[in-house]
A = this chain, B = another copy of it.
Amino acid sequence: MVEILGGKTITEKVKTEVKGRVDNLREKRGIIPKLVVILVGEDSASQIYVKNKEKGCLEVGMSSETRRYPLSIKQDELVKHIQELNCDKGVSGILVQLPLPKSINENEVIESIDPRKDVDGIHPVNMGLLLKGDKRALVPCTPQGIIELILSTGVDISGKEAIVIGRSNIVGKPVSILLMQRNATVTICHSKTTDLPSVIRRGDIVIAAIGKKEMITGSMIKEGAIVIDVGINREAGKLYGDVAFESAKEKAGFITPVPGGVGLTTIAMLLRNTIKAAELAAGEKP
């Protein structure tokens, strides 16, 4: 019998953990962590994300601030604002809502964030610390959510074959590293992989992060596998994952739905990164 892995339970569990850490930091050191979100333009999806982030901060006892800038803002000016936030001791985390307008070089903006405040975990320093296995790393949110979902199954990751499909900087690459650190034997697949179905069929754990609607079907899934679907594909107002849920759930032991799976967990992980940044800034050990 397949078990459906919803993101809600994880989210609640992680928020409770973060709230405890926030309480502790406030009581012990009088510090209230603060997240600043930078939003350029008025993209409606981004507006919703930002609202949810503000709501999440309040729930765990952190403060938050959203700074809105017009689409016409110059890169230099944006970087100047970020540098001010870097120096502001009252700010624990800085998140630049992506994508930015095309006139702005995204990499240069990201690299202007103090890596110790980069709660999205996408500054080269954090990617490097992650790759080196350094505990100070702030790790991208979606990969953290994926690991929590897998851990919630109770299946031991060590020694399992994990197949990661997709090699993006925010999902495929970091989740491969996290799985390897937990002693999985990890294979990273992508558009040039020869005979993708056979490779996926080896997987005790399958992470689908390709961005193609229902590309992975039940016939590619090993009996009893853990299937984590990171895809968010919009079509005619409806959301679809990268996995064909109905056929895959006949084979999988555990499977995440879309929506309601990985996507739900990311804000909790952002809050966890923010408390971690605040703890490290206060001199606590990672």
Contacts and interface: CB of A to CB of B under 8 A. Distances in A.
Interface of A: 107, 123-134, 158-161, 167, 169, 173, 176-177, 180, 183, 185-190, 192-194, 199
14 contacts: A124-B129, A124-B132, A128-B129, A131-B173, A133-B169, A159-B194, A160-B194, A180-B190, A183-B190, A185-B188, A185-B189, A185-B193, A185-B199, A186-B187
A130 B190 CA distance: 18
Contacts of A107: 134
Contacts of A194: 159-161, 185
Nearest to A126: B128
Copies of this protein in the assembly total 2
A226 to B, nearest CB: 16
A173 B158 CA distance: 18
Given A107-B134, A131-B169, 18 more contacts: A124-B129, A124-B134, A125-B125, A127-B127, A127-B129, A127-B132, A128-B128, A128-B131, A131-B173, A132-B169, A159-B192, A159-B194, A180-B188, A180-B190, A183-B190, A183-B192, A185-B190, A186-B188
Nearest to A194: B159
Contacts of A128: 123-131
Contacts of A169: 131-133
A19 B126 CA distance: 35
A169 B190 CA distance: 23
Contacts of A130: 128, 131
A132 B169 CA distance: 6
Given A169-B132, A173-B131, A199-B185, A158 B192 contact: yes
A160 B189 CA distance: 11
Contacts of A161: 194
Contacts of A167: 180
